[in-house]
Amino acid sequence: MKKHALTTRLWHWVNAIAIVVLFMTGLNISNAHRHLYWGQYGFDAADAWLDVIRFPGWATIPGHYNLALARDWHITMAWPFGIGVLFIWVAMLWNGHFRRDLMTAPMDWTPGAVIASLKAHSGPGGHAHGYNPVQKILYGGVFGVLLPMMLLTGLAISPGVAGFAPWLVDVFGGRQSARSLHFIAAWGIFGFFVIHIVLALTDWRLILEMFTGGKRPAEPALPQPEPIPVTDEGAPAHG
């Protein structure tokens, strides 16, 4: 059985491209108004809860300030991202990946389990034993919180969507609140992206497995009951 299903591998690479383009075009869009607010409206920098830095051209798409082109790219890549989020959740529930590898138990959240996971991951062969509690928590946070939040807040700040689904804006406490949460979720995904790449580079086989699928370790065989000795007449022998 493959360690990574074909559906997971396809989504992984398409989503990686989509997130990179979305993030870099988002930085370009952020340069248009570098202030974040809570609530429905926000115009005055004095009312902002955060003043965002101006991002340099090497970190944005396109490499110079162009709000119209950045929005075009952003909306275009939002389609494979949004469809991909729905697709991967359906696939994970269908093939059992979520239940088998990502679902956590109460004991996974204990300090002892977290410390043991970090020690095992940094030791020899730490990548070969499936998903440890820390990985389950991180991946669960990305799949269950950050990716859906990115998608839903992105829809909430879109004028076209907000026009026929105003309740979505209300869920996040206003359009400016949705914009702030969108910004926070984007940087949360960026942080996970960096950690993910650093850990993957510590063992090149992890990257190769995301192309080939890898091979899932065989499940340990269950102990078999010892046979009951019988006499020549066929009756069980009693010791």
What is the tens place of the pLDDT at every residue in 41-100? 998 999 999 999 999 999 999 999 999 999 999 999 999 999 999 999 998 888 887 888
Q: Is 92 helix (H, G, I), strand (E, B) or coil?
A: helix
Average pLDDT, rounded, for the chain = 85
Instruction: Tell me, rounded to whole angstroms, the distance of Cα 19 from its chain centroid.
Output: 11
Bridging pattern class, strands 35-36 and 50-51: antiparallel
Residue 161: pLDDT over 90: no
- 173's CB contacts (< 8 A; 6+ apart) are 38, 39
Q: What is the pLDDT of residues 220-239, one digit of tens each?
A: 554 555 655 655 555 555 55
C-alpha distance from residue 19 to each of 83, 190, 221 (Å): 13, 9, 41
Please give the CATH topology (third level) of the domain spanning 6-212. Fumarate Reductase Cytochrome B subunit (1.20.950)
Largest distance between two CA atoms of the chain: 97
From 83-92, 135-144, 197-206, 221-230, the region with the lowest mean pLDDT: 221-230
Give residue 64's identity as a one-letter amino acid code: H
* Token pair listed for 168: 């979505």
Domain spans of the chain? 6-212
The alpha carbons of the chain give a radius of gyration, in whole angstroms, of: 24
Return the percentage of the chain with pLDDT > 90, whole number: 49
Average pLDDT of the residues in 142-159: 93
